[in-house]
Structure 1
Amino acid sequence: MAHLVLQKQSDNSAASGRIFSVCLAVAATLTSLFITVIASEERGATWAEKAVWVATGVVILLAAHLLPALTKGARMSVKGMALPIWIAALLATGYTHATFFLNAQGRVGEQRASDVGATMSVPALPSVHSLRSRTKIAADVATTLRNLALLDIGRCGANCGAVNARRKALSARLEALRIEDAEAVRAEKAADARMAAVDRSQKAQDNARVDPFVANLAAVLRLRTDLISLIMAIVLGWLVDAVAVVSWASVARSRPGAVVPEIAPQAPVAAPVLRTCDVSGAAAVVGQAAANEPLLHEEFVAPSIGECEFPVEPAVAAATAQEEELASLADLAVAIRAGRVKSTLSSIRAHLGCTDGAAMALRRRLAEEHPDLFRPVSRLC
C-alpha cells in the first residue's frame, strides 16, 4: 500500500513537471516566433519578400528549437547529421533575434531623443540689420579715424565752416561704426549661445538614444555602446532559444511511455509444509503450496478423523525433499540396471514424469554417483 502511494505521488510530480515544461516550451517558442515575424517583415520591401523572409525565419526557428527533441533516442549517424544543421539554425535564429532587439532599441532611442529635443529650448538668433562682419566694420573705423586726424592737422583757412562740418560728419560716422560694431559683438555672442544650446541638445539626444544600462556598462567596461548593445541583443536572443530547446528536450524525455517504473517482484510467501499423522504415528508428507496459490487438489487436505496437522520447519522440509531426491535417484539406478529405463533424458523424464530440468539434474547426479551405468557395454565377438 505504501509503495502504491509513493508511486502515485511520483506520477503526480512527473505530470506536474511535464505540464510546466510544456507551458515553458510553448511560451518560449511563441515569443521567438513573434520576434522572428517582426524582424523578418522589416527586411523585405514588398509583401512577397516579407512573406519569404517570415517563412524562412519560422522554419529555421522551429528547426533550432525542436531538432534536439526530435532526434532524441535516434542513431548516432542521425544525430551527427542533425548537429551541424542545428548549430547553423541556432546561429541564424540568433542573428534574427539580434536584428529585432537592435531595431527595437534604435526606435525607442529615437523616441526618447525626440522627447528630449522637445523639452529643451534653443534660443533664437536676434534680428540683425547689418550682415557685415566685424572685420569690415573695423576697416571703416580705421578710415574714419585717419580722415579725422588729417582734418585736425590741416588749417581751416577760409573754409573753417566746411572743415568743421566734415569733422562732425566723420565723428558721427565713427559713432555709427562703433554702434554697429557693438551690435555685431552682441550678435556673435547670441550665435555662440545658440550654438552651445544646440550642442547641449544634440548631446542630450545622443545620450537618450542609448539605453541607460548599456551606457553605464560600456563606461564600466570601457567599450563602445554599440558593441555592448550588439552583445546584449545576441545574448537575449540565444537565451530565449536556450529556454525553448531545454524545455522541448525535457518534454521529449518525459513523454508517456518513455520511462516505465519498475515494480520489484514480490517473492511468494511459502506456506508451512503440513505433515499429517495418524494416531499410530505413521507420518506422510501431504503437499506443499504457495500461500498466494489456491489449493486445487484434494491431496493437499487431510480430512480424516484421528489425524493431526503440524507445521514442518523449512530445514525439515528441505531435508525431506533431499531424501525424496535420493530415493528417486536410487530407484532410477535400480531401474536402469534392470533394463526398464534407459539413461537418456527422455527415458528418465517419461519414467519419473518430471520436467527436463529435473531429469537433467537427476542424470547429472546419476553420472556422478553411478558412473558404471554410462560405460559402454563390451560386445562378445
Structure 2
Amino acid sequence: MAATCYGHAVFFLLAQKHAGEVRAAAVPAVVTTGRNPAVIAADRATTVARLARVTERRCAEPCPSLRIERATLGARLDAIDVEATEAKRQEAAQDRADAERAAAVADPVTETLTTFGIQSRRVDLLAGLAFAAVLEAVACFCWVLALRPVESSKPNTGAAVTPVMNIQSPVVTEYRGYVPDASGPLPPPPQPVAAVTADHGDDVTRVMAEIAAGRLRPTVSEIRQYLGCSQSRAAAVRKQIGDSAQPALNQ
C-alpha cells in the first residue's frame, strides 16, 4: 500500500507540474529589443568622458569644429539616455512577465496555504500523499466488500403444493406440505384440512345474524373485514346470503 501511495503521489505531483506549465504557457511573452543595459551604461560613460574633454578644450579663435563636436556628443548622450530608459522599461516588463509566469506555475490552492508559513513544495507533497491515501483506502474497502464471506442458506428440498379443488364437488379440500425431491427426505403424508363447506355455513350464519342485528351491511368489503378472509371467500358468503334471502322475498 505504501508503494502504491508513493506511485499515486508521484502521479499527482507530475500532474500539478504539467498543469502549471500549461498555465505558464498562457502568459504572453515579452520580446526585448535593443542593447543590453550594461552596454548602454558603458557607452554613456564613454560619451560623457569625451564631452567633458571637449568642453574643457579652449581655442584662441572661434573653432567651429569644437562646437560641432560638443553638439554631437550632447545629442549622442541624449540618445543614449532615451535608449537606457527604453531598456529599463523592457526590463521591468520582462520582470513582471516572469513573476506572472512563476505565479501561474504554482498551484492556486498551494499559494493560498503558503500564507500560513508552509512551503509550497511541502504542501504539494502532503496534498499528493493525502489524495493517494484516500484513493488507495477506497480501493482496499471495495476489495474488503468483494471478498467478505457470504452466508449460504439451506437449499429448498421441495416445492409448495397449490390447493387442489374438486370441480364436481362443492367441497374444497386443501393440502399443505411439500413435494419431495429425488434427493430430499420423504415428508409425512399430507393431512387434509377440514372442508370449507362447513366453514362457509358457519360464516353465512354469523354474517346473517350480524346483518339482522343491524351491525353489518351486506357488502363484500365489510364481510371480508368482519370475517378476516380473502376477497373470493367474502364474495362466496355474500352470494350465499343473497341466495338464502331470495326465497324469503318470493314468499
The TM-score normalised by the length of structure 1 is 0.37
Post-superposition Cα deviations, 1:120-165, rounded to whole Å, max 9, x if no partner, equal 54453379xx965211111101110111xx32xxxx5xxxxxx32x
1:250 CA displacement: 2.4
2-side partners of 1:125 and 1:140: how far apart? 23
Q: Which amino acid counterpart does residue 4 of structure 2 have in structure 1?
A: T
Q: Which amino acid counterpart does residue 230 of structure 1 have in structure 2?
A: L
Q: Match of 2:8?
A: 97
1:231 aligns to 2:126 (yes or no): yes
Q: Match of 1:178?
A: 74
Q: Match of 2:223?
A: none
1:108 CA displacement: 1.6
Post-superposition Cα deviations, 1:28-56, rounded to whole Å, max 9, x if no partner, equal xxxxxxxxxxxxxxxxxxxxxxxxxxxxx
User: Could you tell me which of 48, 53, 71 is aligned with 1:143?
Assistant: 53
1:209 CA displacement: 0.7
Which 5+ residue runs of structure 1 have no aligned equivalent? 1-89, 157-162, 262-291, 296-381
Q: Match of 2:112?
A: 216
Which 5+ residue runs of structure 2 have no aligned equivalent? 155-176, 178-186, 190-251
Provide closer, same or farther for how the CA distance between residues 241 and 294 of structure 1 changes in structure 2, counting only shifts above 3 A: closer
Q: Report 1 or 2 for greater relative contact order, CA contacts < 8 Å, sequence distance ≥ 6.
A: 1
1:223 CA displacement: 1.1
2-side partners of 1:125 and 1:232: how far apart? 45
Q: Match of 1:256?
A: 150
Provide closer, same or farther for how the CA distance between residues 143 and 294 of structure 1 changes in structure 2, counting only shifts above 3 A: closer
Q: Number of aligned pairs?
A: 156
Q: Match of 2:220?
A: none
Residues 3-14 of structure 1: pairs in structure 2 closer than 5 A:
none
Q: Indicate if the aligned counterparts of 1:125 and 1:194 stay in contact, CA closer than 8 A.
A: no
2-side partners of 1:171 and 1:178: how far apart? 11
1-side partners of 2:2 and 2:80: how far apart? 62
Residues 35-184 of structure 1: pairs in structure 2 closer than 5 A:
90-116=1-27, 119-122=28-31, 124-125=33-34, 133-147=43-57, 150-151=58-59, 156=60, 163-164=61-62, 167-184=63-80
- Runs of 4+ aligned residues of structure 1 deviating over 2 Å after TM superposition are 119-127, 250-253, 255-258, 292-295
Post-superposition Cα deviations, 1:256-311, rounded to whole Å, max 9, x if no partner, equal 237x69xxxxxxxxxxxxxxxxxxxxxxxxxxxxxx9979xxxxxxxxxxxxxxxx
Q: Indicate if the aligned counterparts of 1:105 and 1:211 stay in contact, CA closer than 8 A.
A: yes
1:190 CA displacement: 1.1
Q: Which amino acid counterpart does residue 92 of structure 1 have in structure 2?
A: A
The TM-score normalised by the length of structure 2 is 0.56
2-side partners of 1:115 and 1:294: how far apart? 86
SS across alignment from 2:34: coil
Q: Match of 1:201?
A: 97
Q: Which amino acid counterpart does residue 33 of structure 2 have in structure 1?
A: A
2-side partners of 1:115 and 1:173: how far apart? 50
RMSD between superposed Cα atoms in Å: 2.8
Residues 290-329 of structure 1: pairs in structure 2 closer than 5 A:
none
2-side partners of 1:108 and 1:206: how far apart? 13
1:249 CA displacement: 1.2
Q: Which has the higher helix share?
A: 1
Residues 27-38 of structure 1: pairs in structure 2 closer than 5 A:
none
2-side partners of 1:211 and 1:224: how far apart? 12
1:184 CA displacement: 0.9
User: Could you tell me which of 124, 133, 140 is aligned with 1:245?
Assistant: 140
1:226 CA displacement: 1.1
SS across alignment from 1:133: helix
